[in-house]
Amino acid sequence: MKAYVFPGQGAQFIGMGKDLYDKSPLAKEMFERANILLGFRITDLMFSGTDEDLKQTKVTQPAIFLHSTILAAVPGNSFKPDMVAGHSLGEFSALVANKALTFEDGLILVSKRAMAMQKACEKSPSTMAAILGLDDKIVEDVCASVQEVVVPANYNSPGQIVISGTNEGIDKAIEILKEKGAKRAIKLSVGGAFHSPVMEPARLELETAINNTSFSKPICPVYQNVNANPSVDPEVIKLNLVAQLTSPVRWTQSVINMIAAGATSFVEVGPGNVLSGLIKKVNREVITESAVF
């Protein structure tokens, strides 16, 4: 069985999607439709902008979403998933790919999500940090012991967790985790504390937008971040999408559960190959590849 996986924020690079735009009439039409829907030419920023342009959350998230969903849609890609999953933002790409959301609705939701997250970041200065080489339980216990807001945000692979919280909370947690023997504990260059209580204002905004959007029964299960379980019920999918903003991304468990359900190969759809590397750390035996046009 084949699983298709979709990357999240951090996979972007200047020039992403340009080959698709230049060589596929369908891709060009979808990109131009996105420019109109967003109200600005995101293709200009994707293809020839600056790193600073592309790092803005309001640009990054729609850009990665577009690259992933258009790559999955172009002819010749033989996109036939038995199951899908996406890392954080990538869950929206997965839901367009498995037909739970239309391309247009998915893009509008991603844009609203990005704007809401950016506002929440500006309201409460916060950050994230990658912790390598410690058991999950140690990281969880340290986060719980810190008085400031700091929580596990991304369970990326065995021995790799990203934590999220206020600047003070992250600093304190890093200090303790280094004492506990973390191989690395480094702050990430991100706009704020994604997948933490700091995102509560964004969650409330996104909840309204999601509840006003039509979701269909998908063509295959999506393994959702909040519980790592497969979903095909549109109402369950919506509830989990809302919860995702303030809940951890359980990527390690999602990969384990997809393999247990029969996945023997994973195709990464979108910029980069970060997810393929994480999947190999979970299980070296599975086949990983990148979707190409």
Residue 74 is given by DSSP the state S
Question: Per the structure block, which two tokens stand in for 68?
Answer: 């992933």
Q: Report CA-CA distances (Å) from 165 to 100, 119, 228.
A: 32, 16, 22
What residues does 118 pair with on adjacent strands?
none
Do residues 263 and 286 touch, judged by C-beta distance below 8 A? yes
DSSP H helical ranges for the chain: 18-23, 25-38, 42-48, 51-55, 57-73, 90-97, 103-123, 136-145, 167-179, 200-211, 234-244, 251-260, 274-282
Write down the catalytic residue from 88, 111, 164, 196. Answer: 88
Residue 58: what are its φ and ψ, rounded to 5°? -65, -20
User: Residue 114 and residue 65: Cα distance in Å, rounded?
Assistant: 11
User: Residue 91 and residue 283: Cα distance in Å, rounded?
Assistant: 21
Active site residue 87: no
Do residues 198 and 124 touch, judged by C-beta distance below 8 A? yes
Do residues 93 and 267 touch, judged by C-beta distance below 8 A? no
Active site residue 88: yes
Helix (H/G/I), strand (E/B), else coil: 155: strand
Do residues 53 and 11 touch, judged by C-beta distance below 8 A? no
What residues does 259 pair with on adjacent strands?
none
Write down the catalytic residue from 93, 111, 164, 195. Answer: 195
Q: Which residues are catalytic?
A: 88, 195
